[in-house]
Amino acid sequence: MPVTCVIGTQWGDEGKGKIIDLISSRADVVVRYQGGANAGHTVKVRDQKFVFHLIPSGILHGKINVIGNGVVVDPAQLLAEIEEFSTRGVKVEGNLFVSELAHVVFPYHKAMDKLSEGRRGGARIGTTGRGIGPAYADRATRAGIRLAELFDRDHFARRVHANVAERNVIMKALYDGPPLDADAIVEEYYGYAQRLKPFVTDTVRLLRRALNSGRYVFVEGAQGVLLDVDFGTYPFVTSSNASTFGVGIGSGLPPRRLDEVMGVTKAYTTRVGEGPFPTEDLGETGEYLRKKGGEFGATTGRPRRCGWFDGVAMRFAVDLLSCDSIALTKVDVLTGLDELKICTAYRVNGEVVHDYPTNPLLSSQCEPIYETLPGWSEETRGARRFEDLPARCRQYIEAIERMIGRPIGLVSVGPDREETIYR
C-alpha cells in the first residue's frame, strides 16, 4: 500500500485539517512529522468543530495516529487535547502513539520565544509563542530533552537543572526576565510523563511494521512550504522542515516509500505573522477575504493577512514538493468579488521575473504582475460536481491549474466534509 503525504503549499492554514480528515477515512495510519502546537488544523463535522494542534487529524476516523519523532511536543497541550477529544467521544487511547524520540517543549522554550520576539521589535517574526524555535534550537545544540528521558526521574532532573541554570542566566542578562524554578518543572513534567506513558512508544518501529504489513500510511503536513526553515521566506519561517523533505527525518519512514504527494492550496493567499507576502491586499479585498473566509488563526486567533493567488510562488512550491495533485480549498470565499487577480510574474528591481526567487532577500522586493479574471456572484457551497460551479469559477480554477501545471483533483467549497467536489 502507498504512503501519501498531504501538505500545505502556501504559508499554512490552507485547509489541511479538512482534507486530511476527508481522505484519512481510507488510511490505516496517519502520522505527523514536524512542527508542534504552532499548528492549528480545523475539522468540521456537522455542527461540531475540532481543532487539532498536536494530535493528527485522522483521529476522528478511529485510525492509528502517530506523532513522529520530528514533532516538538508540549505535554500539557497534548494532554489537554487527549482529554478534550476523549470527552467528546473520540477514541484516543489505543489509537494515538507518540514517539519516544520526540523533543519536549519546556516553559523555558516558551519564555525564550516570547522574550526574544519582544527584543526583536520591528524585526520580529510573529511566532505563535508556542516555544517552537527554542525547542528546535535545543535539538540542534543537543540541549534538548526527549520524551523517553522523562521516565527516569533522576536523569530527567539532572538535565532540567542543567538547562534551567543556563537559561536563567541568559534570561536575566538579556531580558531581565524572572528565573524559572527547575524543581517545579521536574515535578510538573514528571507528572505529565506518567499520564502520557500509555501513548509513548517506538513509532519508527510501529511505522515500519505498518508498511511491512501493507498498511496505507498518510502523512499529515503542518504549516506550509513557504514556512519551511530551508526553502521558505527565511527568517520569517518556522524552525522545522515543513516541506516533504522533513518526512523521513521526522517519522523514520523511508524516503523512497513516499509514493504520492497531495498539495493543499487555498484559492487565494493568507499569511499570519510577519514576512514577505507579494500579493497581500491591504485594502477592501483583503478585508473581504478575511471576513468571508473567517481568516483568523486557529492557534492564536490573530487576523490573517490576505491577498490574491500567487501563481509564481505556487509553481515553485508544487515543484519543490513534487505534488502529484492539488486540493484547492475555500473557493466559495471568492463568490461576490467583481474580478479576481492571479499573480503570474513578479517585477524585481525593474525586471520581469517568472521564477520564484529562492533568495528571500529578493522575495521581499517582488512586485506582483497580475492577470485579471472576471468574478462570479453565485454561491458555490451547494456544488457537488465540477459542472455545478459557475462557468467563471471553473475558468478561475482552470487558470490556476494551467499556471501551476498540476491537476486539481479536489475542490473544497465549504468547511464541512460534504462541501467537496472530487474531479
CB atoms within 10 A of CB 285: 18
Which of 141, 153, 62, 52 lies closest to 103 in space, CA to CA?
141
- Please say whether the dihedral angle defined by the alpha carbons of residues 114, 116, 120 and 123, taken in this order, is positive or negative: negative
Q: Residue 161 catalytic?
A: no
Three-state DSSP at 87 gives helix
> How many residues of this chain interact with ligand GDP, rule: CB under 6 A?
22
C-beta closer to ligand IMO: residue 115 or 337: 115
Nearer to ligand IMO, 63 or 266 (CB): 266
Question: Is residue 21 among the annotated active site residues?
Answer: no
Torsion of CA 399, 402, 407, 411, to 10 degrees: -10
For ligand IMO, which stretch binds (CB under 6 A), given 88-96, 119-127, 138-146, 155-163? Answer: 119-127
Stated as kind and residue range, the H or E segment containing 101 is none
Write the DSSP assignment of 221-257 as a string of letters. Answer: --S-GGG-TTTSSTTSS-SS--STTHHHHHH---GGG
Least distance to ligand GDP, CB of residue 15, Å: 3
Would you tell me how many other CB atoms lie within 10 Å of the CB of residue 266?
A: 27
CB of 224 to ligand GDP, least distance (A): 8
Residue 279 interacting with ligand GDP (CB under 6 A): no
- Cis peptide leading into 235, omega within 30 of 0? yes
| Closest to ligand GDP by CB, 21 or 274 | 21
DSSP collapsed to 3 states, 306-342: EECEEHHHHHHHHHHHCCCEEEEECHHHHCCCCEEEE
The residues in 255-314 that bind Mg ion, with binding defined as CB under 5 A, are 298
Q: Which of residues 29-48 bind Mg ion (CB under 5 A)?
A: 40
19 binds ligand IMO (CB under 6 A): no
Identity of the residue, 15 or 250, whose beta carbon is nearer to ligand GDP in the bound complex: 15
Chosen residue from 67, 102, 132, 408 binding ligand IMO by CB under 6 A: 132
Residues 23-52 as x/- pattern, contact with ligand IMO by CB under 6 A: ---------------xxxx-----------
Q: Provide CB contacts within 8 A for 275, sequence distance 6+.
A: 125, 126, 233, 236, 237, 364
**Residues at the interface with Mg ion (CB under 5 A):** 13, 40, 298
Binding site for ligand IMO (CB under 6 A): 8, 11-13, 38-41, 125-128, 130, 132-133, 222-224, 227, 238-239, 272-273, 298
Catalytically active residues are: 13, 41
